[in-house]
Structure 1
Amino acid sequence: MNWLNTVAGWLPEFVDGFLVTLALVAMCLPAALVLGMLLVLARISSKALVWMPAYAVIEFLRNVPTFLLILVVYYGAPLLGSRLDGLYCGAIAIAVQHTAYLAEVFRGGVGAVPRTQWDAGRAIGFKPVGVFFRVVLPQAVLKVVPAIGNQVVVLIKDTSLVAGIGVVDLTLTGKLIMERTAASYEVFIVVAIFYLVLTTLASGLFRWLEVPAGKRR
C-alpha cells in the first residue's frame, strides 16, 4: 500500500495537471468545431477556387503528425514575433489539426442531408450561406453526433502531446512525479485513470446526445 500513500501525497499535483489538460480541451474543442464548420462550407463549394484550397488544407492537416504540427507552431511562433507560451502553441496546433478532421465529419453529415433541403431553403429566400448554416448544418450535425464524439475523445488524448514542449499537463506531471518517486508504473496508472475518466465522460455525453438527435432525424 506504500504506492497508494505515494500517489495520495502527490494528488494536488495530479489535479493541477488535470486542470491544465481540461483547459487545453476547453480551448481546442470550441475552436475546432467552429473552424470545422467554416472549412466544410468552403470544401463543399461548387467553385474550384474555393473547394480546391480547402481540400488541400484538409488533406495536409490530416496527414501531418500532431506532434510535428505542435513543434512547428511552438518553434515557428517566435519567428513571427509572437511570444506565446507552450500552452497556447499546443492549443493552436491541436485545434487547427482537429479542424480538418471535424470538417470531414461535418462533410459526411452534409452529404446525408437530402438535396431537397437546400432547394427548400432557397425557396424561402435564404442565400446559399444562409441555407447552409440555418437549414443544412443543424441537420448534418444531428446525423454525425457519434462521429463528433469519437473525434472529441481523440482530441482529449492528443492534448497529452503538449508534454513534449514542456507544458505541465497531466502527462508531464506524471513524468515529473515518476522522476521524484521512481514509482513509474503506479504513477502512470493514475495518469491513465484521469484520462479514462475524462474520455468516458465525453463519450457518455455524446451517447446521451445521440438519443435525442436520433429522435429528431
Structure 2
Amino acid sequence: MDWSQFGSFAARYLPQLWNGMLVTIAVAALAAPTAVAIGVVLTVPRVAGWRLLSGFVRAYIEVMRNTPLLVQMYLLFFGLPILGIFWDEITCGVLAVSLQHAAFLSELIRSGIAAVSPKQWEAGQAIGMRRWAVFRQIILPQAAIKVMAPVSNQLIVLVKDTSLVSAIGVLDLTLSGKVIIERSGASFEVFILVAALYLILTSVIGAGFRISEARFTRRLG
C-alpha cells in the first residue's frame, strides 16, 4: 500500500465518512437509552415475581436473543407498512436495535439483582425497612456495581450493531463507506477508514464507561 496515496485518499473521503459517523452516533444515542429503559421495564415482572408477565417476558427474551437483528429490522421496516404503519428508516432501525438489546440488558440487570445475597433483604427488613426501601437503598446500588461492566460491554456491542441500519437505507458510517466504494473502487482503503472510525468511537465510549464505573464504585465504597 502506498501510504502517501492513502493519506490523500483519506483526506478526500473522510468528510463524507464523518457525516456518516454522525448518523451512527445519533442512532446509537437514541437506541442505547431506549434499550436500557425497555430492559429495566422487562426486568420488573421477573424481579417482582409476577408469574404471568414473567412468562411473557421470558418468551420475548428468547425470541429476541435467538433471531438475527437484521431479520428483526427487516420485519419492522417492511412489515409495519402492511399494517398501515409507516415509519422512516431511522425510527425502524433504532427500534429494532433497542428491542433486541433490551432483551440482553434485561437478563444482565436481572442477574445482577439476583447476585445480591438474600441476606441483604432480610437484614433490611429486620431493621424495619419496607421492601421497596430495601431494594432502592441496599439491593439496587450493589446490583448496579455488579452489572456496570457487562452492561457497558453490551452497549458497545449495540453501537457496533447500528451498522445494520445501513441495510434499510440509513446513510450511516457503513453505508457511506459502501457508497464511496461504488464511486472509487477502493474497497480495502475504505474498509480501513470505516473500521478505524468505529474503533475510535467504541474506544471513546468504552473509556467513558470505565471512568463512570470507577467513580460510581468509589462513591458507593
Backbone CA RMSD of aligned residues:
1.9
Contact 2:73 2:96 in 1 (8 A): yes
Structure 1 gaps of 5+ residues are none
Q: Report what 1:125 is aligned to.
A: 130
- Shift of the 133–66 alpha-carbon distance from structure 1 to 2, 3 Å rule, reads farther
Matches within 5 A, 1:170-185: 170-185=173-188
Contact 2:45 2:51 in 1 (8 A): no
Q: In structure 1, how many angstroms separate the alpha carbons of the residues matched to 2:25 and 2:125?
A: 39
How many residues are matched? 215
SS class of match (2:86): coil
The one-letter amino acid of 2:52's match is L
- Is 2:143 the counterpart of 1:140? yes
How far did 1:107 drift? 1.0
- Is 2:17 the counterpart of 1:28? no
Q: In structure 2, how many angstroms separate the alpha carbons of the residues matched to 1:155 and 1:46?
A: 29
- Is 2:71 the counterpart of 1:89? no
- Shift of the 202–116 alpha-carbon distance from structure 1 to 2, 3 Å rule, reads same
- Shift of the 133–76 alpha-carbon distance from structure 1 to 2, 3 Å rule, reads farther
Structure 2 gaps of 5+ residues are none
Q: Report what 1:200 is aligned to.
A: 203
Q: Report what 1:111 is aligned to.
A: 114
SS class of match (1:153): helix
Give aligned-pair identity as a percent.
40
Deviation by residue 1:6-33 (Cα, 9 ceiling, x = unmatched): 2211222111100000001111000111
Work out which of the residue numbers 74, 80, 83 in structure 2 matches 1:77. 80
Q: Which runs of 4+ in 1 moved over 6 A?
A: none
Contact 1:121 1:135 in 2 (8 A): no
- Shift of the 181–63 alpha-carbon distance from structure 1 to 2, 3 Å rule, reads same
SS class of match (1:77): helix
TM-score normalised by length of structure 2: 0.89
SS class of match (1:83): coil
The one-letter amino acid of 2:92's match is C
Q: Report what 2:58 is aligned to.
A: 55
Matches within 5 A, 1:3-18: 3-18=6-21
Q: In structure 2, how many angstroms separate the alpha carbons of the residues matched to 1:72 and 1:134?
A: 41
Between 171-180 and 110-119, the greater mean CA deviation after superposition:
110-119
How far did 1:41 drift? 1.2
